[in-house]
Chain A
């Protein structure tokens, strides 16, 4: 714990609506100063968890501690958190300055100090000089920044963000992801960020919590989550992947009868799914040791700028399982690309071959 941030300790938080659990026994430790992303599809409970932290949703039971202090019974206005909403929730009847100064006014901060802190916050989000503008005169990106300035002006120790970038166009969103991350590193407050965009989560977070059906599925660094997904839901949700059915009998793995070599031995026999990331699969001219190979017919070849996406239908597979292969756009590889309809051989290094249940 330090002066600018607080750790958050969530224990057994449960919220049930009729027959369905929005949150089911969720326990999570968020470190002080950490950028934690709650990632999940819509309806997974990630926003509900954020609302529990903010105090807008009361769980059926469970505990939420900021530092050593239990806050679950505290109303939102006493929790001292900064929050950025999905649609910004700016006050349309106030100017930029008044919006950002609002929390300071509530705290009885002097006019001079408010002015100084508002200017500082606006500088931080690169909106200097726009203080007198009305909210309706701002672009989406600028509104986003005002919402951010308003949430950090009183230097909260915890910052909550609910899909703050979802309304922005792709390019601006990607810029803001990096800016938000830099801002977090400068201000060093504990940040809890909700998103359904896995790429955003990978880009920004110290750690990611994947949530589905109100339950925690996996907690880890972006690298751990991407490279070692716990189950097929995460393997499918994070990044692009093709999941191929693999049977493991007597510790030996096979894909539709053909033997494949895994990076790690499976603990138990059973049916698993092989995770093939498009960027890890490659086109193979000749077979060398240390890789698994699958042959199939190229059914689609899509130019995507920085890479070419190849869709291959496996020969050995009865239900026509498709594998995607991403070939980086280098002048040499582009020329050598196979034609649609050709039979191709796809390689996957043993080190990259792992299964999920």
Chain B
């Protein structure tokens, strides 16, 4: 004997309501999905395809082979990583104490400090980079001042080289480190530090055993964002490096603009993308991804 399930009270209607809700949520994500598909998935797919096309128009690995063999390419990768790592370390060294200081202030003063961090962040990248050029160049403000004060007799070369590139990049990247780090530090319960201190920890000990470990997710998130952004950075190294600091993004650009070599440019792009992907993957194992955004 089979039992025919009778429809329970309002079962069909409620199922329909649930289905409608799902449809609405899908509808809300649709514009973004279309954008991602059109602007990211398809172009990146095209990039992959191009990177495997040789000069004669057939399928080949020649773009990748050249990259492995050519000293110039290897040097570019070394420069890219060196600049990115140095920028990230300097950002952390400057940004951590600042974020810590801000997190200890009252909301009002912290917001005022935050404006100080954000105003450069909202200013055009190009403007800031050229401003550094004006400040740092041979007859720039900094050199002239130092000479007039008698600190130096000859102008020092602080731009059109690695130093200049680093100064500019650190300045531009700093907010990306401070924002997630500050948000994380704010969320640390101040009573935990009081607790540590009441239990016998000196302020230094309390910092290293309680505050620092609790700020690590924010710090890692900030380091990661800065590092990944540095890997693909173009404008600042191009202007402040003066052609002496060549990073991957600049090589991609010159491959296309000077040599019309879409294949070589694509291959470089793919390598950069894959490296970034691997770093993000490793980092996601260390910090949960939701901490990468500001909480």
Contact = CB atoms under 8 A, between A and B. Distances in A.
Interface of A: 54-56, 75-77, 79-83, 85-87, 89-93, 102-103, 106-107, 150-151, 154, 160
A90 to B, nearest CB: 7
Interface in B193-207: 194-203, 205-206
Which of B192, B195, B196, B197 has its CB near the most chain A CB atoms (within 10 A)?
B195
A75 B205 CA distance: 14
A162 to B, nearest CB: 9
Contact of B198 (A77, A93, A107): A77
Contacts of A86: 191
B191 A87 contact: yes
A52 to B, nearest CB: 13
A91 B210 contact: yes
A83 B198 contact: yes
Given A77-B202, A81-B198, A154-B200, A89 B191 contact: yes
Contacts of B191: 85-87, 89
B34 to A, nearest CB: 39
Contact of B192 (A80, A89, A103): A89
Contacts of B206: 77
Given A92-B214, A93-B213, A80 B200 contact: yes
B65 interface: no
Given A92-B214, A93-B213, A106-B205, A76 B197 contact: yes
Contact of B199 (A56, A93, A106): A106
B189 interface: yes
30 contacts: A54-B198, A75-B197, A77-B197, A77-B198, A77-B200, A77-B201, A77-B202, A79-B198, A81-B198, A83-B195, A83-B199, A85-B195, A86-B191, A87-B189, A89-B189, A89-B192, A90-B195, A91-B195, A91-B196, A91-B210, A92-B214, A102-B196, A102-B201, A102-B209, A103-B199, A103-B200, A106-B199, A106-B205, A150-B195, A154-B199
A80 B191 CA distance: 17
A93 B209 CA distance: 10
Interface size class on chain B is 10 to 19
Nearest to B216: A93
Interface string B81-118: 00000000000000000000000000000000000000
A76 B193 CA distance: 11
A89 B200 contact: no
A82 B200 CA distance: 9
Give the secondary structure class of A's interface. loop
Nearest to A86: B191
B214 A82 contact: no
B194 A91 contact: no
A211 to B, nearest CB: 21
Nearest to A153: B199
Contacts of A56: 194, 197-198
B192 A76 contact: no
Interface in B169-200: 189, 191-192, 194-200
A76 B200 CA distance: 8
For A75, A89, A90, A106, the residue with the greatest tally of chain B CB atoms inside 10 Å of its CB is A89
B214 A93 contact: yes
A356 B96 CA distance: 59
Nearest to A103: B199
Contacts of A75: 197
B216 to A, nearest CB: 8
Nearest to B212: A93
Which 3 pairs between the two chains have the least Cβ-Cβ distance?
Answer: A89-B191, A89-B195, A103-B199
Contacts of A80: 200
A145 B214 CA distance: 22
Given A76-B194, A85-B191, A89-B191, A102 B199 contact: yes
Given A80-B200, A150-B199, A89 B205 contact: no
Nearest to B190: A89
A298 B192 CA distance: 52
Given A91-B210, A93-B214, A107 B192 contact: no
Contact of A82 (B198, B202, B209, B213): B198
A56 B192 CA distance: 13
Nearest to A107: B200
Contacts of A76: 194, 197-198
B213 to A, nearest CB: 5
Nearest to A85: B191
Contacts of B196: 91, 102
Given A77-B201, A91-B192, A91-B210, 19 more contacts: A56-B198, A76-B194, A76-B197, A76-B198, A77-B198, A77-B199, A77-B200, A81-B198, A82-B198, A83-B195, A83-B198, A83-B199, A89-B192, A102-B196, A102-B199, A102-B209, A107-B200, A151-B199, A154-B200
Contacts of B202: 77
B279 to A, nearest CB: 24
Nearest to B202: A77
A156 to B, nearest CB: 9
B76 to A, nearest CB: 40
A193 B34 CA distance: 60
Contacts of B205: 106
A75 B196 CA distance: 12
A85 B196 CA distance: 11
Contact of B201 (A93, A106, A151): A106
Contacts of B213: 93
B189 to A, nearest CB: 6
Contacts of A54: 194, 198
Contacts of A154: 199-200
B166 to A, nearest CB: 33
Contacts of A106: 199-201, 205
A91 B199 CA distance: 12
A95 B143 CA distance: 55
